[in-house]
Structure formats: structure tokens, C-alpha cells
Amino acid sequence: MSQEFKGCDLVAIRDFSRESIEHVMDLAEKMVPVAHGDERCTLAAGYVQGSLFFEPSTRTRLSFASAMARLGGTTLGFDQPGGSSVQKGETLADTIRMVDTYSDIIVLRHHAEGSARLAAHFAKKPVINAGDGAGQHPTQTILDLFTIRKEKKKIEGINVALVGDLKYGRTAHSLAEALALFGANLMFVAPPALQMPKETVRSVEKLGSKPQIVNQVEQALSDADVLYVTRIQKERFPDLAEYQKVAGSYKINNALLKDAKPDLSIMHPLPRIDEINPEVDQTPHALYFQQAFYGVPVRMAILALLLGVVD
Amino acid sequence: MIDHIDVGMALKVLKIIGIKGDNMQSTVSVLLHVPSKMAEWKDIVKIEDRELDPRELDKISLISPNATINIIRDFNVAEKFVVEVPDIVKGIVRCQNPGCITNLSEPIEPEFVVESKKPLLLRCIYCDRIMTDASDYLI
């Protein structure tokens, strides 16, 4: 193992080396039966997770709570700032200092980019970034990598097409960098107004990737092993008119998938709105619900490593 | 005297130094759009009875990395040096990303890692946004 995990923060995916991410995934593999409820575990008994969700979340928040419970620990916190001192004007720094004294590890989702880095600056305990606005969402990235590795048995050389809101979608940025780190072949599929930001393209190129940039999903479909679809997020757009121009740009349905490889897997961080027609759920291509489940074993592995209850 | 200021940046240099026109007791000379051997054109600012502090020098380096400081005492050049972009830029530039936590009311100074000095590339250590032009974001 290349990295000592105990006490570390996980703010951005680049905080972890490739080897470290592989170690997390190996451990997550062992956590799957516990996450399913087939086995019990008390690795984190007596430990407390501080869960601060300043923005709505279903999967991330619940899977962190489930992960901590499956490890034998407990969770305290809030899922909307309305019930906390934040509403009275408390700074994030002060909220973090307080929660730092009540818990052993802090999980933070906040609307401001860089909020998790700030939290890590003020907290003595490990901080896990559960999404900072349009910034990073590293645990989602690791669970996405885990899902691909589990389904395709490898990541290197796999053709992954990222589709949808690549400009504002936080998962797409982290995932593109991580996939490049693991040697996947990347395609960025988005209308020009929602294409991958320059910084991310530069980052993946630095990692040796040569992403193909296209506007139409049909251009990527025949070669893709994985189609990673993201929601066009209304709340991230600074301008409603800009949102309305691109809303509903991509709709994945069975007619479109006729040209796809038989073993194409479709992933989505969820929630979806109308990007993937429910008829696709019944096909072997649909991997998104399984992907959502993998959030639990992956987050169990991350919590256990950062708490130092496993090596 | 501040020589080799990037053309068009002299007024921003005056702002960095805090010269408003009515708060000085000595002469300030500004030359705009002067022919230059190094670049095609440059600006020059000359201030009497005033030396620059490190914070001011760092700010000038961010908007005009080739600016040269000539300190003249008793009609002789006592010191001459080119400003240098620091490796870490802390507390003198705010992040251009309006969604960055450093632009909210938090008790922290904005901080950037200098990824490249020429051309200038500043990466916010909080939100990771890259800035290439700091001139409109000086604090």
C-alpha cells in the first residue's frame, strides 16, 4: 500500500494515488457481503460520523449512513441547513470546528466549491468531500471506477463515453481524470455549451489520455463499452435561458441502443430525469441501480481506512 | 521608478500602490505607451520618496511579470531588480470563481498555487479553478 490512510482527508480524487484507489476498491470488494446484509461487522463500533449535508442528497447521504451503520458505527448531523446554526449565519468554519469535537470523521456536502478543502483546513478529524457545488465528488468517482472494474473486470483500455452535462456536472470532471489515470479511452459527448471544461481536458491530457470530443451520442455509441450518462442539472446553470436551450439534449432509449455493443453498460450517478427512458431499465445494459448499491461497500471501505480501523 | 510595465497596466500599478491623486505629497509621473526594446511598447511609473513593500511587489508581478524596479537615491540607481512571481499567492488576489468558498464570509485568505509564471497560471487551492489573468481580482 502506497499511502497511509488513517487520518487523511478525501477532498479531491487526486488526493489518492492510483495504487491507493485500487486498495480502496480491493477492500470494497470484501465489504460487499456486509453491505448486502449477508454478513455483520463491528469494525467501527463506537465511532461517530458527522454528516453535514447543506444540499439535498438521497443516495450519497443514505449510502454514507448505511455504510457507517454496516461498520457498526453511528451517524449524527443534518440533511438541510435549516435546522442548524447555519441558518443563523454561522460560518462553515465554525460549524466544522464544532462537529469536529462531536465526531470521528466528517462527511460534507456543500454548495460552495472548495468548501471541503476549507473544512479539511479547520478539522482535525478526516474530512470526506461528498460533493462541493460544481467541484469534486471523489467517493462517487471511486464507486464509478469500482462499478466499471466489477462489471468489465478491468478499466484500462475500456471505451467510456461521458454523456450529458460535462460542464457543470461534478461527477464528470472527477471521473474523467480518474478514468484517464486508469488508462481508459475517453469520449466526451455534449453540446458545445455543455462540453468538458478546458482545465479538465488539460488534466486528462496530462495523464496521457487523448479524449475524443463529439456532440452527438450516436457518434460514440458503436465503440462504447460504457455509456456514462449525467443529468443536465438545472440548479447549476447561472442562466435559466441557457438551461432551457440544452435541457433534454440526450435521451437514451431502446431504439438508440440498437447500434450499441451487446455488452454495453449504461451508468448514471442518479437521480435521472428523462435522460434514460425507463424501458432501458429492463435491458442488460442498465447498470445504474447496481452502481448506486456499490456506493455502500465503497464508502464502507473509505470510512474504515480513514478511521484507521483497517489497513 | 517602475520600468517595463506591460503596456496598459500603469494605471493598475498606481491602484496597487494606492495612488489616487490627492493622497501624495510628492511627484508621480506616468508614461503610457512608450517604445520598448524588449517588448514593442511598455508603460513606466515614477514615484518620488516612496519604496514598495513586498505585498505591492507581488501584486505588480502578477499583472506585469517583467516590471523592473529601479530605486534611485542621490541621482544614482541604488538598486535594480525584476519583480518575481511568488510560488504561492496568498491574500492578494481573490478567486474569480463566484461559487468558490473563499468568496463567501469565511475566515480564510484566498490562496493560489502558481502552476506557471509565464504565462501566469494560478490554481485556487480551495476550488481548483485556474486563473490566467489576476488583474481584475487584486485585493
Residue range A140-187, pLDDT digits in tens: 999 999 999 999 999 999 999 999 889 877 678 889 999 999 999 999
What is the separation of C-alpha A97 from the centre of its chain, rounded to a whole number of angstroms? 26
CA distance B106 to B108: 6
What integer is the mean pLDDT of A91-120?
Answer: 96
Choose among B102, B105, B130: nearest Cβ to A114: B102
- pLDDT classification of A3: cutoffs 50, 70, 90: low
Report how far residue A306's alpha carbon sits from residue A310's, in angstroms, rounded to the nearest whole number.
9
Domains, chain A, ordered by start: 13-136+293-307 (3.40.50.1370), 138-289 (3.40.50.1370)
Cell 446484509, located at residue:
A37
Element (DSSP H or E) covering residue A63 = helix A59-70
Name the nearest CA neighbour of A294 among A82, A25, A15, A50.
Answer: A25
Residue that has been written with the C-alpha cell 478526516 in this structure: A126
Report the pLDDT value the prediction gives residue A251, as an integer from 0 to 100: 87
For the stretch A20-54, pLDDT in tens is 999 999 999 999 999 999 999 999 999 999 999 99
The band of A134, judged by pLDDT with boundaries at 50, 70 and 90, is: confident
Host H or E run for residue B3: strand B2-6
Neighbours of B28 (CB within 10 A): 14
Q: What are phi and psi of A20, to 5 degrees?
A: -65, -40
Strand pairing category for A159-163 and A185-189: parallel
Instruction: Report CA-CA distances (Å) from A18 to A13, A181, A191.
Output: 10, 7, 31
Q: What pLDDT is attached to residue B132?
A: 92
Q: Scanning the structure block, which residue is given the C-alpha cell 482535525? A: A124
Q: What is the enclosing helix (H) or strand (E) of B130?
A: strand B130-131
Residue B77: its H or E element: strand B76-82
pTM: predicted TM-score of the whole model, two decimal places: 0.89
Query: Which residues of chain A from 133 to 172 reach within 8 Å of chain B, CB to CB?
Result: 133-136
**Strand, helix or coil for residue A265:** strand
Which of B100, B106, B130 shows the shortest C-beta gap to A113? B100
Length of chain A: 311
**What pLDDT, on a 0 to 100 scale, did the predictor assign at position A1?**
45
Residues of B at the A interface (Cβ-Cβ below 8 Å)? 95, 97, 99-102, 104-108, 124-130
- pLDDT at A249 exceeding the cut of 80: no
Find chain A residues with C-beta within 8 A of B125's C-beta: 114, 117
Average pLDDT of the segment spanning A181-197: 92
Amino acid at A279: E
A63/A234 Cα distance (integer angstroms): 24
pLDDT at B136: 92
Top residue of A14, A118, A174 to mutate, by most chain B CBs within 10 Å, is A118
Domains and their CATH numbers in chain B:
2-82 (3.30.70.140), 88-131 (2.30.30.20)
Q: Which residue has the higher pLDDT, B20 or A289?
A: A289
pLDDT, mean of residues B93-117: 95
Task: Give the count of Cβ contacts less than 8 A between chain A and B.
Answer: 55
Least confident of A188-197, A298-307, B30-39: A188-197
Q: Which pLDDT belongs to residue B60?
A: 96
Residue contact A117–B104, C-beta within 8 A: no
Q: Do B125 and A133 touch (CB under 8 A)?
A: no
Q: Which residues of A touch B128 (CB under 8 A)?
A: 12, 113-114, 135-136, 199
Distance CA A180, CA A18 (A): 11
pLDDT band with cut points at 50, 70 and 90 for residue B70: very high
Does pLDDT of A88 surpass 60? yes
Rounded CA gap, A17 and A190, in Å?
Answer: 29
Q: How far apart are CA A303 and CA A27, in angstroms?
A: 11
Q: Which residues of B touch A112 (CB under 8 A)?
A: 99-101, 104
pLDDT band at B19 (very low <50, low <70, confident <90, very high): confident
- The full length of chain B comes to 139
- The answer to whether residues A180 and A143 touch, using CB atoms and an 8 Å cutoff, is no
Cell, residue A26: 480491493
Q: What is residue A170's predicted lDDT score, i.e. its pLDDT?
A: 65
Helices A170-181 and A18-36 meet at what angle, rounded to 10? 120
Mean pLDDT, chain A, whole residue set: 92
Of A141, A206, A148, residue with least CA distance to A170 = A141
User: In this prediction, what percent of chain B has a pLDDT beyond 70?
Assistant: 99
User: How far apart are the C-alpha atoms of A177 and B64, rounded to whole Å?
Assistant: 33
Pairing of strands A105-110, A127-132: parallel
Contacts of B130 in chain A (CB under 8 A): 199
Rg (CA), chain B: 16
Predicted local confidence at residue A203, as pLDDT: 86
List of residues 6+ apart from A149 with CB closer than 8 A: A25, A155
Query: A76 has which bridge partners?
Result: A50
Does the beta-carbon distance from B126 to A117 stay under 8 Å?
Answer: yes
A195 to each of A168, A251, A295, B48, B55, how far by Cα in Å? 9, 17, 27, 52, 38
A289 in Cβ contact with A27 (< 8 Å): no
Strands A159-163 and A127-132: unpaired
